[in-house]
């Protein structure tokens, strides 16, 4: 096996697949990536047995075909250290990958290709296409609400619903919820899939700044596979039944305020500085025409601020996790935010008047 390639052409797919490779592995082969040359294409594969990512390039020269596995991060570090526009010559010699560029020479140890794990191939039941930019927005508007290491393991994953011409993403940790959907997508199905956090993170990286580029998403009962330009992502799915999240979305709140999203977010950020570091609670006082915020901590420090809002209902005092409020207001994009409340013990529904496809729910905290 022998090939020559420009540093930048090698670095791009190498960075993509190395994200999947964990720094600490119980199996040495999982620290390696698989490099293969076939049909005038050079492919690199990284996996942790839960997520597999393949990146390809045709910007290389070689008269041979073959496969080899090499340490992912060592190869990445070598490639990064080379001068820009350098030509990298790679060849297999006596079971090692010899790398030469200019006056630089190195050899990397290899492991048998037969030991490299492959994700089982499935027959995919649901397939649809989204623009990379649309998919990125769906992920940005929901994935922040995922749970982290929750014993209710389905909360650690992102729910993807395909319902006819609609695709909806849902994330929750039991205390907050985010949901967003797009319509006019040909799914031809009505099913639910739960994508684990790592699969979500790699998908987000894959479609970043993709714009109008088409992304093909396919689902079986066990796997999600995503084709995007020169890369293919395959992730195991979480085998569980997602709870009925619609029951957590409040309806009919009689206390509705509309305010400037950025002004409220900035005021909360300032107030949060002196909130309790453990509980991150903030007290909101809603009165006609204004929204007051107050936070304190065990050091007897406190902060408060008031912003002008459009509200004409009865006064209400309610507590929230200030971090949840700030993160939600951050992913929203419109100038205004609409907050729908009922009482101090009921969840708050936040929406963007200019984005009817997205909804956010935050449960209250004890005052």
CB 289 within 8 A of CB 309: yes
Query: Cβ(13)–Cβ(55) under 8 Å?
Result: yes
Coil, strand or helix at 151: coil
Instruction: Print burial letters for 352-362: b (CB count within 10 Å at least 16), e (below 16).
Output: beeeebbbbbb
CA distance 148 to 153: 9
Top CATH class, 126-246: alpha beta
**Per-residue confidence (pLDDT) for residue 290, from 0 to 100:** 98
Paired strand residues for 281: 321
Integer Cα distance of 271 and 303 in angstroms? 5
d(CA 180, CA 34): 36
Cα torsion 271, 272, 277, 280: sign: positive
Q: What are phi and psi of 139, to 5 degrees?
A: -65, -45
- Contact between 320 and 291 under an 8 Å Cβ cutoff? The reply is no
Q: Is 108 helix (H, G, I), strand (E, B) or coil?
A: strand
DSSP structural state of residue 235: E
Residue 187, pLDDT score: 83
Strand-pair partners of 88: 5
Distance between CA 118 and CA 144 in Å, rounded?
30
Contacts 24+ apart (CB under 8 A), 112-115: 112/69, 113/34, 113/67, 113/68, 113/69, 115/29, 115/69
Place of tokens 């526009």: 85
Per 3-state DSSP, the chain is made up of helix, strand and coil in percentages (nearest 5) of 25, 45, 35
The third-level CATH classification (topology) of the domain covering 2-115 is DNA Polymerase III; Chain A, domain 2 (3.10.150)
How many CB atoms sit inside 10 A of residue 200's CB?
Answer: 23
Cβ neighbourhood burial of 209 (10 Å; 0-12, 13-18, 19+): exposed
Residues in the chain, pLDDT under 70: none
Q: What is the DSSP letter of 166?
A: E
Which class would CATH give 249-362? Answer: alpha beta
Give the position of tokens 């809603």: 286
Tokens of 138: 């769906």
Task: State which H helix or E strand residue 349 sits in.
Answer: strand 348-352
Distance CA 83, CA 233 (A): 30
Q: Where in the chain is the domain with CATH 3.10.150.10?
A: 2-115, 126-246, 249-362
Segment (H or E) for 327: helix 322-331
């Amino acid at each position: 096996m022998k090939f020559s390639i420009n540093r930048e052409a090698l670095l791009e797919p190498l960075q993509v697949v190395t994200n999947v490779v964990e720094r600490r592995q119980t199996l040495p082969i999982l620290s390696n990536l698989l490099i293969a040359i076939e049909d005038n294409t050079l492919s690199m594969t990284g996996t942790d047995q839960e997520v597999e990512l393949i990146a390809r390039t045709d910007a290389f020269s070689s008269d041979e075909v073959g496969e080899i596995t090499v340490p992912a991060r060592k190869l990445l570090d070598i490639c990064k250290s080379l001068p820009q526009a350098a030509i990298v010559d790679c060849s297999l010699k006596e079971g090692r990958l010899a790398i030469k560029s200019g006056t630089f020479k190195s050899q990397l140890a290899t492991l048998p290709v037969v030991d490299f794990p492959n994700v089982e191939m499935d027959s995919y039941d649901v397939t649809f296409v989204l623009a990379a930019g649309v998919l990125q927005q769906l992920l940005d508007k929901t994935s922040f609400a995922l749970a982290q290491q929750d014993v209710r393991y389905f909360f650690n994953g992102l729910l993807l619903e395909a319902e006819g011409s609609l695709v909806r993403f849902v994330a929750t940790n039991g205390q907050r919820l985010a949901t967003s959907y797009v319509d006019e997508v040909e799914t031809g199905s009505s099913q639910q899939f739960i994508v684990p956090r790592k699969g979500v993170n790699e998908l987000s990286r894959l479609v970043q700044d993709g714009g109008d580029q088409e992304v093909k998403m396919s689902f079986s009962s066990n796997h999600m596979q995503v084709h995007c330009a020169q890369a293919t992502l395959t992730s195991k799915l979480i085998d569980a039944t997602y709870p009925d999240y619609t029951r957590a979305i409040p309806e009919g709140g009689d206390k509705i305020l509309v305010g400037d999203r950025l002004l409220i977010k900035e005021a909360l950020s300032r107030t949060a500085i002196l909130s309790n570091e453990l509980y991150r609670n903030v007290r909101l006082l809603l009165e006609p025409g204004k929204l007051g915020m107050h936070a304190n901590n065990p050091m007897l420090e406190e902060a408060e601020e008031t912003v002008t809002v459009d509200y004409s209902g009865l006064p209400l005092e309610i507590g929230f996790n200030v971090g949840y409020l700030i993160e939600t207001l951050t992913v929203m994009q419109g100038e205004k935010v609409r907050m729908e409340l009922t009482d101090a013990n009921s969840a708050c529904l936040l929406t963007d008047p200019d984005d009817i496809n997205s909804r956010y729910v935050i449960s209250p905290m004890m005052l």
